Amino acid sequence: MSISARFRRAVPTLVLASVVASLATAIPPAAAATPTPQEQVEAREKLMKTMGGGMKALTQFLKGEAGGPAEVKKAASDIAGVAAHDPMGVFPKGTALGVGDSAAKPALWDNWPKATGLWGDLKTASATLVQAADRGDKAAVAAATQAVGKVCQSCHEEFRQKKD
């Protein structure tokens, strides 16, 4: 079979492949279902429990009760991982008190600039914590853990309803 004959036989296949490829890129994939407010609250609670677990591990280490360098690094990394989230994704509108187990007061959204400022402080403090953990500097870990705790406390005092 000559090359031109093979080419003529291959053209319909190439055209079909081009059409399929064009359609595949032209038709957007089905949009992922938007999480419900309840699901958003549950996701936030999971993140906060991750942060709380990290703080607990750090406190136990600093008191000499448990853990070592590996656990300190993991705890610092977990906290920084939570802080790396976009606060709008963690606290989307419509997830205040009354939605599931949410403890977020409406004041959080009413004073969004302050809330996002605190989130920025959390990012900074957690980055410092990761650096201290990476150096293995116990005094710096203690100071950074305290700084993270102060940010958490400030946010909770203003924007979180105390749970029974």
User: pLDDT-derived band of residue 75, with 50, 70 and 90 as boundaries?
Assistant: very high
Using alpha carbons, select from 143, 111, 103 the residue that is nearest to residue 126: 143
The model's pTM is 0.78
The pLDDT value recorded for residue 163 is 77
What length is written for the chain?
164
Beta bridge partners of 160: 104
Q: Judging by beta carbons within 10 Å of its beta carbon (0-12, 13-18, 19+), is residue 13 exposed, middle or buried?
A: exposed
pLDDT at 64: 92
CATH match of 37-159 with 3.40.1390.10: no
The sign one gets for the Cα dihedral 44, 47, 53, 59 is negative
Residue 109 burial (CB count, 10 A) = 16
Q: pLDDT tens, 76-107?
A: 999 999 999 999 999 999 999 999 999 999 99
